Chains A and B, each alone.
Chain A
């Protein structure tokens, strides 16, 4: 009964090699998977340039956003991405739902399941929550950030932004400047960029690096540590600045903001040490005058705004890959 298909049948497109039911992290992404995401994101970005930014790819599917931590930009980005694919969206934000009443994550998932959602985008303050969700939901789970652990869609959009401009990622020098200890954005970017052969350097005081990395063990292969900002920025192709959260300032991890600014703020002189065509990135929201000088925020090298636009394209790509099509139960 089997037909031999050595060539593509007429009307038959090339099929995707995507097997992930969930997007929980990018730790195990292969180069082929990164390539596929970047390619699909390109196609989606073109759609965003059209007058009608909508395609019917996810028509009839429902996506819920379940955000236990407040967020305007990420949630809005996912919502737009889903709507551009013609999916229906419901938003559950912690301040306004039974989450505050004490309903457990698992109960909330069962409720959403009973409502028939196909995909759940979840952001949670505790590492591992999306994995718990994936164990208990039949819908596809997309991690929009869990505690300090991972923020896979941010890393993918950052990688796409660099790829769009540089046309390749291998061997680029990527410097992540700032508090990576508490940053899921940093951790996912470390995985992502090193996974495709870029060279990642972390620059921050030792107290703001992931614990133990500086002296005892190295969970990330090939990642460099450099506490001197001048040395770190030399020859950088990409400088990614992380936000310094107010809470860190009072938690005994560093003396005070003044000292941080003096030795770790990205200003024009320091940025000039990077390559002339270096890209400046920031996951947002930006603390002007703290981790970055305001003049740099909109300088020609800055792609902070493109990151936001690309965020929608990359999330459209991921929603299409993870939730699109007829997904049989695994």
Chain B
């Protein structure tokens, strides 16, 4: 397997900085926003974006954690089930703008599951999607509102995100898996 680093720690820092500014620019009323990080690596990214927004605008945006495993569309088809972690959103999401945050947007199925979970939990006035990496190959009609970086990839490649909160460093790399991957 070969791999190639596409984003260094410095690239990540700049990208998340730019995304935060984009969010600020597009949302006149920041006080109505709730960031919800999709487990697992969406969570530290949501926190970093919120920190950046606070740094630039002084506004504190609440950050929640969402485990959407129970809404996955492949539960009945998997041999092993996912471990269910906790979900915790500190404020009500009714009438709020919820920004779902994830590290990589790929097929779009995780975002679909996360939206279903959110809608069962309340009625946001709108849901937006922020992802650090969009690697294409959507299987559902889902698009991100805020994208850190577009990284076109092929199906026999794997985009790996490492963040210091969960791994040992900040880095995004592409692994070539060596053969064609049929879904």
Contact = CB atoms under 8 A, between A and B. Distances in A.
Contacts of A52: 120-121
A60 B106 CA distance: 27
A326 B78 CA distance: 6
Interface bin, chain A: 35 or more
Interface stretch (A5-13, A174-182, A233-241, A304-312): A5-13
A13 B114 CA distance: 14
Given A60-B76, A325-B76, A44 B84 contact: yes
Interface in A20-64: 36, 39-40, 42-44, 46-47, 50-52, 54-57, 59-60
B85 A43 contact: yes
B24 interface: no
B165 interface: no
B31 interface: no
A9 B158 contact: yes
B86 A42 contact: yes
B121 A50 contact: yes
B164 interface: no
Contacts of B177: 3
B91 interface: no
B126 interface: no
A328 interface: yes
Nearest to A53: B120
B134 interface: no
B55 interface: no
Contacts of B107: 11
Given A43-B67, A46-B88, A54-B120, A13 B76 contact: no
A126 to B, nearest CB: 32
Interface in B58-98: 67, 69-72, 75-88
B110 interface: yes
B121 A15 contact: no
Nearest to B79: A326
Contacts of B71: 55-57
A173 B87 CA distance: 32
A116 to B, nearest CB: 14
B86 A326 contact: no
Interface in B36-67: 39-40, 67
A16 interface: yes
Contact of A16 (B76, B83, B103, B161): B83
B160 interface: yes
Contacts of A4: 1
Contact of A15 (B82, B110, B122): B82
Interface in B129-183: 158-161, 177, 179
Interface string B112-126: 000011001110000
Contact of B160 (A1, A10, A42, A56): A10
A68 interface: no
B18 interface: no
A324 interface: yes
Given A4-B1, A57-B70, A324-B75, A13 B120 contact: no
Nearest to B159: A10
B84 A40 contact: yes
A71 interface: no
8 contacts: A8-B40, A15-B81, A39-B83, A43-B87, A50-B120, A56-B116, A326-B77, A326-B78
